Amino acid sequence: MKIFTVKGAGFCFGVKRALDIAFAMAEKKEKGIYTLGPIIHNPQVIERLREEGISPTEDIYNEDIKSLIIRTHGIPVHLMEEASRRGYGIVDATCPFVKKAQHYAKLLSEAGYQVVILGDKDHPEVKGLVSYAGDGAVVIGEKGPLPRLKSRVGIVVQTTQPVEELKRLAERVIERAKEIKVYNTICNSTANRLTETEDMSRKVDVMIVVGGKNSANTTQLVRLCASMPVKTYHIETAGELKQEWFRGINKVGITAGASTPDWIIHDVKKGIKGTGG
Amino acid sequence: MKIFTVKGAGFCFGVKRALDIAFAMAEKKEKGIYTLGPIIHNPQVIERLREEGISPTEDIYNEDIKSLIIRTHGIPVHLMEEASRRGYGIVDATCPFVKKAQHYAKLLSEAGYQVVILGDKDHPEVKGLVSYAGDGAVVIGEKGPLPRLKSRVGIVVQTTQPVEELKRLAERVIERAKEIKVYNTICNSTANRLTETEDMSRKVDVMIVVGGKNSANTTQLVRLCASMPVKTYHIETAGELKQEWFRGINKVGITAGASTPDWIIHDVKKGIKGTGG
């Protein structure tokens, strides 16, 4: 059995950077360092950080907070202001690409555009973006209906959206608005990972997608593979692998979301080999 | 035999306005009034104006020119400047929607965008637009290849293009550029005429498209009808109608380009009735 790993699988630039920041903070051995929400969608990494003294908290009013690490997704303006007001040391590990999208949302709003955000309205990144996008901003999901729009519309995109969705949205907005400004804030590493995963899924019999069940970009990889003529399994760790998946199989492909560490990918590879399929 | 005429057939707002301006000029009975190029793509109208003392000229250096009427399509900046330099009385009958497109092309260029003009590079309107669009501007035809683009692209559209072409172009540009600003400068009357013509062509057995053979929007109507399951004929005047087209036919639809006068449409209707098909 041959096992291939997608080139762009695993940690992206923004996640690597955020973890570097977090582990560097940990070295200070200070008390009261928190991340607002889990720093990435990966329980194993969260656990390692907790051992180093950095815990996630959902509560910005948590009285133990001294320093607050902002995770890659970014946070809404009012939370950033509240953290500031409360005198926390703020360590901003927002992904620079998300930061850019926030900046463009603000810019569009200030220039009088009605801001349309393409993305999942429940995703933390999008909740952050909305807070920069001003009054009248709307979030459009993949297949959601388009509300009544003003004649000047500005579009920004959740960084992990597929470019095909942006094209479809632009098409629909062009029918309604007279002036449309699009900032294509889709992150290349997401796009490349999708392309490489699609290519791989054409060459193998089974695809193993490794990543958090609540990770948007992992879910996208799963959906992509499921749409291809290849058997697809979504796992979070090597422990979930089943021997029967690989019986009589010649070629297996591995891909992984942006929040999946290399060592987990490595374990999965070893695990598949161990099945001896 | 029933004959139907498309609601939006014939003169659009800009053409009506330009002709009103020209005939008002004619009333002054001055010498040396010229239009730069034929004022509309309709030989019959040109002839009427000539009888009133207003002739088309292709030559801006024509020594007989005292007053110059700029037609609906507009003209390139350098010609406007030359006309001014030569002391002509300039009567600008550029369609206000074309004027707007020129303005947006300039705005985009000044804001540092690479301007992409969707349209037919040989059409006078597009030649005018290009002159406002600055260095690096490109014209993209319907199926033309997309050249290498900068990361900030601004799009304006020849007013008579179908919105479907704009959607396709936007899709293609989104794949390449990071920031895209689209001014949808497509004129509603063109879009409506196309929609109404499409609806009509579903209900009749024969479509008669009336308009200049060199009129872009008439050609579009012809192409649209030809793509529908309806027999289509393109004529410039009633004289071209043939009896055999209507033999055994129940329902005939008439549509006409933006430069086709009502009296020609009326003649065509009478002509079809006369065939007694």
Under a CB-based contact definition with an 8 Å cutoff, are residues B218 and B123 in contact?
no
Which pairing describes strands B179-183 and A179-183: parallel, antiparallel, or unpaired? antiparallel
- What is the pLDDT confidence band of residue B190, given thresholds at 50, 70 and 90? confident
- Using only C-alpha atoms, what is the Rg of chain A? 20
Taking an 8 Å cut-off on Cβ atoms, the answer to whether A184 and B179 are in contact is: yes
pLDDT in tens, B147-156: 999 999 999 9
Mean pLDDT of chain B: 94
Annotated catalytic residue within B125, B142, B165, B198: B125
**B100 has a pLDDT exceeding 80:** yes
Contacts of A171 in chain B (CB under 8 A): 167, 170-171
What is residue A156's DSSP assignment?
E
Q: How far apart are CA B277 and CA B263, in angstroms?
A: 22
Among residues B171, B106, B184, B107, the alpha carbon closest in space to that of A179 is found at B184
Are the C-beta atoms of residues B198 and B224 closer than 8 Å to each other? yes
Statement: residue B275 has pLDDT above 60: yes
In contact, A138 and A117? CB cutoff 8 Å: yes
Higher-pLDDT residue of B42, A156: A156
Mean per-residue pLDDT for B86-96?
96
pTM: 0.84
Query: Which residues from A are below 8 Å from B178, CB to CB?
Result: 183-184
CB-based contact A226:A220 (threshold 8 Å)? no
Angstrom distance (rounded) from CA A95 to CA A98: 5
Question: Which one of A125, A165, A171, A179 is the catalytic residue?
Answer: A125
Clarify whether B125 is annotated catalytic: yes
pLDDT tens for chain A, 277 residues long, are 999 999 999 999 999 999 999 999 999 889 999 999 999 878 888 999 999 999 999 999 999 999 999 999 999 999 999 999 999 999 999 999 999 999 999 999 999 999 999 999 999 999 999 999 999 999 999 777 889 999 999 999 999 898 999 999 999 999 899 999 999 999 988 889 999 999 999 999 999 999 988 888 899 999 999 999 999 999 999 999 999 999 999 999 999 999 899 999 999 999 999 886 5
Q: What distance in Å separates residue B155's CA from the closest CA in chain A?
A: 10
Task: Please give the pLDDT value at position B42.
Answer: 80
- Most A-contacting residue of B161, B167, B173 (CB-CB within 10 A), to test interface: B167
Q: Is the ipTM of this complex over 0.85?
A: no
Which of B108, B171, B176 is the best residue to mutate to test the A interface, defined by the most A CB atoms within 10 Å of its own CB? Answer: B171
pLDDT for the residue B217: 85
B101 CB burial (10 A radius; 0-12, 13-18, 19+): buried
- CB contact under 8 Å between A181 and B177, yes or no, is no
- Rounded-to-integer distance, Cα B186 and Cα B162, Å: 7
* Cα R_g (chain B), whole angstroms: 20
B275 vs A168, more confident: A168
A58 and chain B: CB distance < 8 Å anywhere?
Answer: no
Residues of A whose CB is below 8 A from B182: 170, 174, 179-182
Of chain A, the end-to-end C-alpha distance in Å amounts to: 7
Is the Cβ of B177 closer than 8 Å to some Cβ of chain A? yes
Sheet holding A231-235, edge to edge: A2-5, A251-256, A206-210, A231-235
Query: What are the chain B neighbours of A163 within 8 Å (beta carbons)?
Result: 174-175
Angstroms from B181 CA to nearest CA on chain A: 4
The torsion angles phi and psi of A184, rounded to 5 degrees, stand at -80, 90
User: Across-strand partners of B35?
Assistant: B56, B69
Contact status of A163 with chain B (Cβ, < 8 Å): yes
Q: How far is CA B14 from the centre of its chain?
A: 10
CA B205 to chain centre: 27
Query: Are the beta carbons of A171 and B174 separated by less than 8 Å?
Result: no
Q: Closest to B174 (Cβ–Cβ): which among A178, A179, A182?
A: A182
**Closest residue on chain A to B179 (Cα):** A183
Q: Do A182 and B184 touch (CB under 8 A)?
A: no
**What is the identity of the amino acid at B64?**
D
| B166, B167, B178: residue with CB nearest A184 | B178
Is B195's Cβ below 8 Å from some Cβ in A?
no
Q: How many Å separate Cα B19 from the centre of its chain?
A: 14
Report whether B5 contacts B269 (CB < 8 A).
yes
The residue to which tokens 């003003």 are assigned = A150
Q: Does A181 touch chain B (CB under 8 A)?
A: yes
Asked if A171's CB is within 8 angstroms of B167's CB, the reply is yes
Q: Are B178 and A175 within 8 A, CB to CB?
A: no
pLDDT band at B277 (very low <50, low <70, confident <90, very high): low
User: How would you write chain B as a 3-class SS string?
Assistant: CEEEECCCCCCCHHHHHHHHHHHHHHCCCCCCEEEECCCCCCHHHHHHHHHCCCEEECCCCCCCCCEEEECCCCCCHHHHHHHHHCCCEEEECCCHHHHHHHHHHHHHHHCCCEEEEECCCCCHHHHHHHHHCCCCCEEECCCCCCCCCCCEEEEEECCCCCHHHHHHHHHHHHCCCCEEEEECCCCHHHHHHHHHHHHHHHHCCEEEEECCCCCHHHHHHHHHHHCCCCEEEEECCHHHCCHHHHCCCCEEEEEECCCCCHHHHHHHHHHHHHHCC
Q: Which of A149, A152, A166, A182 to mutate to test the interface with B (most CBs of B within 10 A)?
A: A182
Looking at residue B243, what is its pLDDT? Answer: 94
| CA gap B228, B217 in Å, rounded | 17
High-pLDDT (> 90) share of chain B, %? 86
Q: Flag whether residue A103 sits within 8 Å of chain B, measured between CB atoms.
A: no
**Residue-wise pLDDT tens digits, B220-271:** 999 999 999 999 999 999 999 999 999 999 999 999 999 899 999 999 999 9
Please give the single-letter amino acid code of residue A23: F
B174 touches chain A (CB under 8 A): yes
